[in-house]
Structure 1
Amino acid sequence: MVKIGNVPLDNGMPKICVPIVGRSLDELVQECRYLKDKIYDVVELRIDFLKDVLSLDAVGQALTVVRQELPDEAILFTFRTKEEGGETDVPESYYFSLLDYTIKSGTIDAVDIEYFRDREGIKKTLTVAKEYGITVIMSSHDFHKTPSFDEITGRLIGMKKLGADVAKLACMPKSAKDVLTLLSATEAIKSQYPDEPLITMSMGRLGAISRISGECFGSSLTFGSAKKASAPGQLEVTTLHQILQALHG
């Protein structure tokens, strides 16, 4: 059973992940406190939004502040590169230094590693994450289009073969057929790996159905916005929870 902290990514109703995107320590504190009366399972710290993200000391302060504010919550750490829809460009070497530093900080439960980064860097990070008991979500994002069925399934299987605990793919649809392609590929991989968690989503308004249909097609975690969305098409977290509960019955 793969978990993020104490949150199992099992089959059934998808777990809800809320991104926090503060650009300063004060903003991060405000976002954490805003979550106090919300229902969710995991918090994603999108560190690429942090103004001083190029300083490991500043990142360390952000990690400490978020953990102090959310002492018992499951925390996923993500630096989303600009190439995959994030806020900040950094050299590849710094990207991996940042992940290594964070894994060893003792403040997080899971880390996101992008699939199309340096393979040796990925393997080293996977080794460190395993040593420290940190769950690895490996991810691929396409903000411009929806890849073909074969490309989606190929990427997800590739992530699993590299050693990811969870494979994740998000893409942008141009048509309803694109959304069906994403959902069909999700179902195919889930059928092939029924006991392994998977995260997929079709972005934007057109893809919103994919954010609530995980129980049917096999995606085990979905993202809902609190103060601010981190990607197009995220539903507000309370609304998302109500919809998932209604569908779950």
Structure 2
Amino acid sequence: MRLKAAKPIVVRGKKLGGDKPLICFPLVGKTPEAALEEAKKAISGSPDVIELRVDAWNFITDKQTSMKVLGDIRKLTDIPLLLTCRSHLEGGFQEVSAESRNALYKGAIEEKLVDLVDIELISGYEEIKNLKQIASPRDVYVIVSFHDFKKTPPKEVIFATIAKEIAFGGDVAKVAVMPQSMEDVLILMSATLMARREFPDIPLITMSMGALGSITRIAGWLFGSDLTFAVGVASSAPGQIPAGELREVYKLLYSLYLNE
């Protein structure tokens, strides 16, 4: 039986940590026009969450334009929006200064344009604490994340990373790692199960990337992962599965595990 979060987060009617995993479409358009067009296509696919990968934007340093695009996307839909500015070190499309990221995050949160924000664990406790102080009073949830595109750390290290993300104030803890073997895939799922049991209140997002790790994007929810990224319009990481195919597989799993 699936181990769901004891205290799921409800965002615009979507439950992160409930019986079923949420499906998130990442958007990686580079220009204002591409970002809006991609958003419209994503909305037509009815994802549970839309991730705005603003590190892909070639106008990210222009706060005024960035805020306008965020506002335009917000007007298009009531689907929960996740704002992510991934660092180049952890798989981002370009290097964006902390100052540019923080300014955009602050503006987007204060204007209530997004529902969740992602900040990497390597940003440090003070950066995360400052973001939480802005986000929490406005009911915006903070995902603290870690990504390793080269390897899969030992189970104990993955668990310790999740524990640190939670200790630093994450409303949601996220870990994505790259497997070199099927044993690595098992390590990620085992660490996820361990974390779910140890931290039952906190929603988790975990995945093993690449083709080798694709099974975690399908079956990870049975071990405690509460959201999976799928290809609705474009892929943002290796191993993401087309949304239509993922939903068909989920129907089978739901019939087996949820009696649907």
Taking structure 1 as the reference length, the TM-score comes to 0.95
What secondary structure sits across from 2:139 in the alignment?
A: coil
What is the match of residue 221 of structure 1? 227
Of 224, 233, 242, 2:239 maps to 233
What is the match of residue 49 of structure 1? 56
Q: By how many angstroms is 1:69 displaced? A: 2.0
Structure 2 counterparts to residues 89-238 of structure 1, below 5 A: 89-238=95-244
- Assess if the C-alpha contact under 8 Å between 2:59 and 2:65 holds in 1: yes
- Assess if the C-alpha contact under 8 Å between 1:43 and 1:74 holds in 2: yes
Where does the alignment leave 5 or more consecutive residues of structure 1 unmatched?
none
Cα distance in 1 between the residues matched to 2:43 and 2:176: 28
Where does the alignment leave 5 or more consecutive residues of structure 2 unmatched?
1-7, 256-260
Q: By how many angstroms is 1:240 displaced? A: 1.1
Change (3 A) 1:105 1:11: same
How many residues end up aligned between the 2 structures?
Answer: 248
Cα distance in 2 between the residues matched to 1:111 and 1:45: 10
Cα distance in 1 between the residues matched to 2:201 and 2:245: 28
Cα distance in 2 between the residues matched to 1:86 and 1:248: 33
Q: By how many angstroms is 1:36 displaced? A: 4.1
What secondary structure sits across from 2:122 in the alignment?
A: coil
Structure 2: which amino acid aligns with 1:82? H
What is the match of residue 21 of structure 2? 14
Change (3 A) 1:110 1:151: same
Taking only aligned residues, the RMSD between alpha carbons, in angstroms, comes to 1.3
What secondary structure sits across from 1:164 in the alignment?
A: coil
Q: Please identify, of 153-162 and 238-247, the stretch whose mean Cα deviation from structure 2 is larger.
A: 238-247
Cα distance in 2 between the residues matched to 1:164 and 1:101: 20
Taking structure 2 as the reference length, the TM-score comes to 0.91
User: Given the alignment of the two structures, is residue 35 of structure 1 paired with residue 35 of structure 2, yes or no?
Assistant: no
Identity over the aligned pairs, expressed in percent? 36
Cα distance in 2 between the residues matched to 1:3 and 1:169: 21
Q: Please identify, of 160-169 and 93-102, the stretch whose mean Cα deviation from structure 2 is larger.
A: 93-102
